[in-house]
Amino acid sequence: MKNLSSFLWALLLPIVLMAAEPRYIDLDADNSRQVIVDREKGQYLGHPTTVLLEDGKTIICVYPKGHGKGAILLKRSEDGGKTWSDRLPTPKNWETSLETPTIHRVVDAKGQKRLILFSGMYPVRMSVSEDDGKSWTELKPVGDWGGIVTMASVIERKTGAGHYMALFHDDGRAFAKGGKPTQTFTLYKSFSEDGGLTWSFPEKIFASDKVHLCEPGALRSPDGKQIAVLLRENKRVAESHIMFSNDEGKTWSEPKELPASLTGDRHTAKYAPDGRLFISFRDAIKKGNSSPSEGDWIGWVGTYDDLIKGQPGQYRVRFKDNHHRWDCAYPGVELLPDGTFVVTTYGHWTKGEPPYILSVRFQLKELDDLAKKAEK
């Protein structure tokens, strides 16, 4: 009987595993959803980050003119990403950026809204706008320290008005002047209590040479009580990881692996109006695994509960085929008031040409309809 049960389970296991996988939806050929944000013949354009302003339609996008470093470029959309401005004027020393820029909205205790832009390596520098991106300060150091893709995430803390936490990583090359790469990747946190104008000396969250956890993507639980951080695993010996904090970033759980369906680079998450979670990232797999969308720009749809329980989620969406082994898909992800996601990234979208910036628009209801249609 035992041998019979084992035999039946061996037959059923592939079916069970297949049922546990999220449904795959491919939007690569749907050109009607795609908007070119910026493209320049013969020029590498990559690594964009976006921010949506409070009017629910103005999106600001920043990105380097080059692979991860180069002059920071700025564009603006005033119709929810349907059209984009020409490149806008920026401070002269934005041309000296050494890293992928990141942009965030913060508000201080007096209600002053500002945009803050970071440029990493050593030292981390910041530029500030208090008029919704129309004018900016020069890039200035925030302290005697540095990091890679700083600040990858900035999340508001519930410890006081104007309190924020920034998360980033380093491998030894940028944290201190004259640093050199090591086999240890370290995750850091830094705090601000004045609406993002100043930042504390970074504190170590986690460090390891066994797994290279980096590029933290933070989000809150639906009830707001917990912070989760999704992490790229850059050594490719494990799946992507997740860690949690229940005390506003003071302490953290040990990182644990996520399902293969969420394994990739530079996770950026937003909640849909119905409470489901959408996450954009680059499909990057653990050594020995395979994926039909390896190296492409993809998204994941599921729930926060899926993250806690390590479940595979509902959908895996391929937005665009990347004609490169891996180089594509940094954020941003914005949600418009009508429930439309505007996801923006870079990639080698045309074979044989340098990467450029592309935006895709969709609603989760449209994905549901596509999934139902495929079932018929």
SS3 state at 52? strand
Residue predicted with more confidence, 21 or 260: 260
Residues of the chain above pLDDT 90, percent? 92
Task: Go through the chain and tell me how many residues it has.
Answer: 376
Dmax (CA) for the chain in angstroms is 77
Q: Please choose, from the candidates 278, 272, 325, 284, the residue with its C-alpha nearest in 3D space to the C-alpha of residue 302.
A: 278
User: pTM, whole model, 2 decimals?
Assistant: 0.93
Is the domain 22-375 a CATH 2.120.10.10 member? Answer: yes
Whether the predicted pLDDT of 267 surpasses 50: yes
* DSSP code string of 144-179: S--BEEEEEEEEE-TTSTT-EEEEEEE-SSSSSTT-
Q: Would you say 184 and 207 are in contact if contact means Cβ atoms under 8 Å apart?
A: yes
| Helix, coil or strand: residue 320 | strand
Q: Mean pLDDT over all residues of the chain?
A: 94
**Tokens of residue 264, six digits:** 């990739």
**10 Å Cβ neighbour count for 18?**
8
Pairing of strands 23-26, 315-320: parallel
Q: What is the mean pLDDT of residues 35-51?
A: 97
Q: What is the pLDDT of residues 131-170, one digit of tens each?
A: 999 999 999 999 999 999 999 999 999 999 999 999 999 9
- The residues that bridge with 72 in the sheet, in sequence order, are 64
CB 79 within 8 A of CB 336: no
pLDDT tens-place string over residues 175-204: 999 999 999 999 999 999 999 999 999 999
Split at pLDDT 50, 70, 90, the class of 20 is low
Are 186 and 173 in contact by the 8 Å Cβ rule? The answer is no
One-letter amino acid of 45: L
Supply the pLDDT for residue 186. 98
Q: pLDDT tens digits, residue range 30-41?
A: 999 999 999 999
Range with the lowest mean pLDDT among 8-22, 25-39, 242-256, 264-278? 8-22
What mean pLDDT comes out for the span 301-305? 98
